[in-house]
Homo-oligomer: A and B are copies of this chain.
Amino acid sequence: MKPDALPRLRSWLGSEARPEGFRLPPERELAPLLGVSRTDLRNALLVLETEGGLERQVGRGTFLRHAARPGADYGSGRDISSLAERTGPMEAMNARLALEPELAQMAALQASPLQISELRELAQAMRVAPDWAGYEKLDADFHELLAKSAGNPLLYELHRIVNGVRLVVVWRRLNPEDVSPPSSYHSFAEHDAIVAALERRDQAAARAAMRAHLAATIAAMAGGA
C-alpha cells in the first residue's frame, strides 16, 4: 500500500466537523478527491473499518462510527492523538499520578544495573539539553525507560499510551523560540532523586520521589508555567 492514502484519509476526515453516522462520498468520487487510486483508498478504508472507526455497506455507503473533530486526524477514537484531543492537562497528570509511582516502586526492585545506568545518563543529558524540545524528548525517554525497567508488560503498555498523550500535549505547547530549561529547573533534582532511590533499591523512596516530582509538575502547571 502506498504509505500516504491512510494519513490523507484521516486528515481529510478531520478537516471538518462531521457527526457520527456521516456518510462519506462514494469511493469512486473520494479517491480522486484525495489524489489516490481507488485501490489505495479501499485499503485505507479497510484499515479504518477494522479499527472500528468506519462502517461500510455494499449498496449503501461508508459511514463514520464516531464524530470527526476538526483539526485532528480521524482514528478509532482510541488512538493516542484522539485521546489527547479529549484529555485535559490535569486529566493526563492524574493518569501519570496513578501509574508512575507504581512503576518507580517496581523499577527499584526490577531494573537491571544497565538500565539504571542509562537512566542516570538520561537525567544528566537533560541538564544540558540544547532547548526545551531536546529536553522533552529526553524526559519522555527517561520515563519510558523507567516504565520498561519495571518489568510489568501491562503497565508498560499503559504508560506508553499515557506518555504518548503527554507528548502530544507538550509538543503542542512548545514555542520554537524557547531556549533550554534553566539550571534551577525543579525536575533536574527530582530526576536525580528518583535514580538515586533506584540505585539504592529503595522501593518506598522511589515511589515517594516520583510522587514528589509529579506533584511539583502539577504545582508548576497551576502556577501558569
Q: Which residue of B lies closest to A42 (CB)?
A: B43
B-contacting residues, A141-168, CB 8 Å = 152-155, 157-158, 160-162, 165
Q: Is the CB of A98 closer than 8 A to any CB of chain B?
A: yes
With an 8 Å Cβ cutoff, the count of chain A residues facing the other chain is: 30
Number of copies of this protein chain within its complex? 2
Segment from A89-97, A121-129, A209-217 that makes contact with B? A89-97
The verdict on A17 contacting chain B, using a C-beta distance below 8 Å, is no
A98 CA / B78 CA spacing, docked (Å): 21
Tell whether, in the assembled complex, residue B50 and residue A91 are in contact, meaning their CB atoms are under 8 Å apart. no
Neighbouring B residues of A6 by C-beta, 8 Å = 50
Cα–Cα distance between A6 and B47 once the two chains are bound (Å): 12
Dominant secondary structure of chain A at its interface with chain B:
helix
How far does the alpha carbon of A155 sit from the alpha carbon of B91 in the complex, in Å? 8
Interface status of A1 (Cβ within 8 A of chain B): yes
Judge if A116 is at the interface, Cβ distance under 8 Å.
no
Interface residue? A106 (CB, 8 A): yes
The contact of A99 among B92, B98, B157, by CB within 8 Å, is B98
Instruction: Out of B153, B154, B157, B162, name the residue touching A154 (CB < 8 Å).
Output: B162
Neighbouring B residues of A86 by C-beta, 8 Å: 153-154
> How far does the alpha carbon of A188 sit from the alpha carbon of B48 in the complex, in Å?
41
| CB pair A97 B87 closer than 8 Å | no
- Chain B proximity of A101: nearest CB distance (Å): 8
Query: In the bound complex, how far is the Cα of B162 from the Cα of A88, in angstroms?
Result: 22
A218 within 8 A of B: no
Of residues A50, A97, A165, which shows the largest number of chain B Cβ atoms within 10 Å of its Cβ? A50
Report A67 CB to chain B, min CB distance, Å.
Answer: 14
- Which residues of A, 102-126, contact B by the 8 Å Cβ criterion? 102, 106
**Contacting A165 at CB < 8 Å: which of B49, B87, B154, B161?**
B154
Nearest-neighbor residue (CB-CB) of A98 within chain B: B102
Closest Cβ of chain B to A153, distance in Å, is 4
Q: 9 closest pairs, A vs B, by CB? A: A98-B102, A86-B153, A87-B154, A91-B152, A95-B154, A158-B158, A47-B50, A98-B98, A95-B155
